[in-house]
Amino acid sequence: MLSSFTVLDLTWVLGGPFAGQLLAQLGAEVIKIEPLQGDLARQVSRHALEFEGDPGFFLSVNRGKSSIALDLKHPRGREVFYDLARRSHAVLYGFAPDVPARLGLDKDALLAVNPRLCIAQLIGLHDQPPYAKAPAFDLVVQALSGVMSITGEAGGRPVRVGYQIADLAGGLYLALACMGGMLKALRDGRGELVQVSLLDCQLALLTWQAQNYFLSGQVPGPNGARHPVIAPSDIFACLDGRHIAVSPTGQQFWRVFCSAIGREDLVEDPRFKEAKDRIDHVEALTEILNEVFAARTAAQWSEHLFAARVPAAPVHTVADAVEQPLARMRAMVEEVRHPGSGQSMKFLGNPFKYEGARPLAYPPRLGGESRELLRRLCGYDDAAIDSLVQQRVVSEGGQA
């Protein structure tokens, strides 16, 4: 896929590193450029391996990369980075908008070094005052984007999405932007800067909710698990206290669903006969289905409805989700040996399925590949690298 492309990943914490890992999953060589003290994500999580100290937060988005620890504020460090950029295809960074120019990593400086370079920049809100320096943490972006206003139960408080959707969606868009930029450079022989804002990405994901507002002027609100324009499309409590999600969309699925739950009478009930009728009488329908689903366990209902080809599934915990047979069948749980202890560790798998794809390597030690990368990509000899280490421009092997 991207096996001939080299990407310099200057991002940190979550969204940007997630983009870098996606590119690695597509086959690119991704080099993580870290400050001498390392990515902050190496320190932020309480879930860490006692024998190594790598937090789960860091491990989750940095597989398949190599690491070089480099002081970009040092003039010599900047020259080292330029040498790496000359032999690369793209740079990812997530600095505040005014930082690239101060570091000599802005568009003009980098394209002067390598005119074919794609520069993919992740920002929070906007690159102009008064927003350029505004902190844009995931929760803040979720709040600004409107997603919190349509998440949660009707009449309840706004609720954040359960994982960092602003950061992670920003990473997805950043990886896509980077791929587009690299392909353009390959075609035209000319690189450029492509910018992705966390807020822009969340606004883009509003899709039909925003479009319906533009058309009608009606402001959407939260509906819990219930779909605002399809019924039934909701979750229901079962005999064992667990929940099942059910969404028999369309008349054919509606008829099959009614037969599967033993309520064929609902098909001809004038309150529920057509899709619009079911929306108009959704509360009455929900009351009936609450009683129906309370009669069996979630597992019993799931097995029965799956056999009937009704769109339904149990509501899984994270543990259920990653341990279900389907996750294994799709290779979405991989096992990788820890390089130090040899212990087998589980990671999430690669969502891109292509011939020849292999599980990504364990996330890198801080500066673990500094010397090898400087030799291979920049042509430095050991004396030159030793000098950089002594000047504290570069660190290697996890030592700052």
Residue 142 confidence (pLDDT) above 80: yes
CB neighbours of residue 240 within 10 Å: 11
pLDDT band at 45 (very low <50, low <70, confident <90, very high): low
Q: Name 248's Cβ contacts closer than 8 Å, sequence gap at least 6.
A: 232, 254, 256, 257, 310, 311, 312
> CA 77 to CA 69: how far, in whole Å?
10
Model's pTM, two decimal places?
0.95
Domains and their CATH numbers in the chain = 6-205+328-395 (3.40.50.10540), 234-315 (3.30.1540.10)
Active site residue 243: no
pLDDT band at 47 (very low <50, low <70, confident <90, very high): low
> CA 329 to CA 250: how far, in whole Å?
29
Cross-strand bridge partners of residue 244: 236, 314
pLDDT for position 400: 35
Annotated active-site residue in 74, 89, 126, 227: 227
Residue 228 confidence (pLDDT) above 70: yes
> CA 122 to CA 166: how far, in whole Å?
12
pLDDT band at 340 (very low <50, low <70, confident <90, very high): confident
pLDDT for position 357: 86
